Amino acid sequence: MSDQLPTHAGPFALGTFTADEAPGAFTAHETVGAFPGLVAGARVRDLSDLVPTVRALVERWDAWLPRLHELARSTGGDWHELAGLRVLPPLEPGQILQSGANYRKHVVDLVAAEKESVHGATPEEARADAEKMMDERVRNGVPYVFLGSTRALCGPYDDIVLPALGEQHDWELELALVIGKPGRDIPVEAAMDHVAGYTISNDLTTRDRLYRPDLKAIGTDWFTAKNADTFLPTGPFLVPAAFVGDPDDLRITLRHNGVVRQDESTKDMIFDIPRLIAYVSTTTTLRPGDLLLTGSPAGNGAHWGVFLRPGDVVEAEIPGLGHQRNTVRSHA
C-alpha cells in the first residue's frame, strides 16, 4: 500500500483489493483473495457478499449506482481500513482500447522535430507546418486506436518489471474511462451516456522494440512494445463519472524520480472523449467494463532523453482519481 492514502472525488469510488499488502505484478483476476470494494474515504466496504467483481457490477451500472449511494452511507457490511489493503487494478476489463497521438502539443512537437531533422525546416517553419497539420486533423481526421492486453495490467503501487529485451522503457500517463452501457455506432451527442467512470492508466512502452527491423513494411509492433507484464499500471479506483466533473479539464501529472515530466490538461486532447467513443464504436461493439485510454500528453521519456531503469520511482496523479506510485525493477 502507498504511504499516502489516495483520495477520490465524490462520496465513494470502486476498486479491487486483497488483504495481501506485498507489492507484486499480478492482475486482479490472478490474485487469490481479491474482492470488489466500495471506497468511502479511508475505508473500504467489501462487496463480495453482493457481487463477485467490479466488472459484474459495471455490467448493471444503472441499477447499481443508486444502491452504491446507499451503501456508502451505511455502517452495515464488512468494512476495512484502506491503509491495510493491497490495491489492485479496479477491474478486469473486457477490451482495452488505447488512443495514440491524441494530445496536440505532443504531436506538434513530434511532427516539428521530424520536419527539422529530416526535411531541414527552420524551427519556426516546422512548428507552423505542424500546427496547420493538427488543425486539419481536428477538422477532418479520425482518432488512432489500437488494442492492449489485459495481462499487461498491474496495480497502482505494484512494481514495474522491465522486460529482458529492450533498453528504452518509457512512460505515458493517461486518463482512462470505463464503459457502463453497451453500444455500437454510438453518435457523438450520446457518447457520454455510455461512460460509467474514470481511472488512471500509465501506458508504458519499450521504444526500441516498437519497430521490427525484419518487417519494416508492416510498421509498428504494438504487442511487443506495449504489452509486457506490469506495463499498464491502472487505478487506484474507478470513480463514477458524475463525481469527476469535466473530463476535458483534468490535470495529468507524472513525476519520474521526483522530477515533473508530464503536466498537462486534458483540454489539449485532439479528439475528445465523445469523438473517441463514437469512433471506436464504428468498429467494435462497446460493452460494460471495456477500458478506453484517451492518449498521453507531451513529456514522455523519449522527449527528455531519459528512460526507466531499475530503482526508479514513477508517481502519477489526476485530481479526483487518486494517485499511483510504482517502483521499477529488473526482470532478473
For 46-56, b where at least 16 C-beta lie within 10 A, e where not — what string?
Answer: bbeeebebbbb
Helices (H), the chain: 54-58, 61-73, 104-117, 123-140, 222-226, 241-244, 273-280, 301-304
Is the CA virtual torsion 41, 74, 155, 268 positive or negative?
negative
Specify whether 127 is located in the same domain as 152.
Answer: no
CA 75 to chain centre: 32
Q: Which amino acid is at 308?
A: L
Pairing assessment for the beta strands 144-148 and 232-233 based on DSSP bridges: unpaired
pLDDT digits (tens, 9 = 90+) for 171-208: 999 999 999 999 999 999 999 999 999 999 999 999 99
Does 25 reside within a domain?
Answer: yes
The region of weakest confidence among 10-14, 76-80, 107-111, 152-156 is 107-111
Specify whether 95 is located in the same domain as 72.
Answer: yes
Does pLDDT of 35 surpass 90? yes
What pTM was estimated for this model as a whole? 0.92
pLDDT digits (tens, 9 = 90+) for 236-274: 999 999 999 999 999 999 999 999 999 999 999 999 999
pLDDT digits (tens, 9 = 90+) for 45-62: 999 999 999 999 999 999
* Domain residue limits at 294: 13-102+143-330
Instruction: Give the C-alpha separation, 125 to 135, whole Å.
Output: 16
Instruction: Give the C-alpha separation, 68 to 57, whole Å.
Output: 10
Grid coordinates standing for 12? 465513494
Specify whether 156 is located in the same domain as 217.
Answer: yes
Does pLDDT of 3 surpass 60? no
In this prediction, residue 28 carries a pLDDT of 41
What percent of the chain lies above the pLDDT cut of 90? 75
105-113: list long-range contacts, CB under 8 Å, 24+ apart: 105/264, 105/268, 105/297, 105/298, 106/268, 106/296, 106/297, 106/298, 106/299, 106/300, 107/134, 107/270, 108/134, 109/298, 109/303
Does 119 reside within a domain?
Answer: yes
Specify whether 137 is located in the same domain as 244.
Answer: no
Specify whether 215 is located in the same domain as 314.
Answer: yes
In this prediction, residue 24 carries a pLDDT of 53
Work out the pLDDT band at 98, boundaries 50, 70, 90.
very high
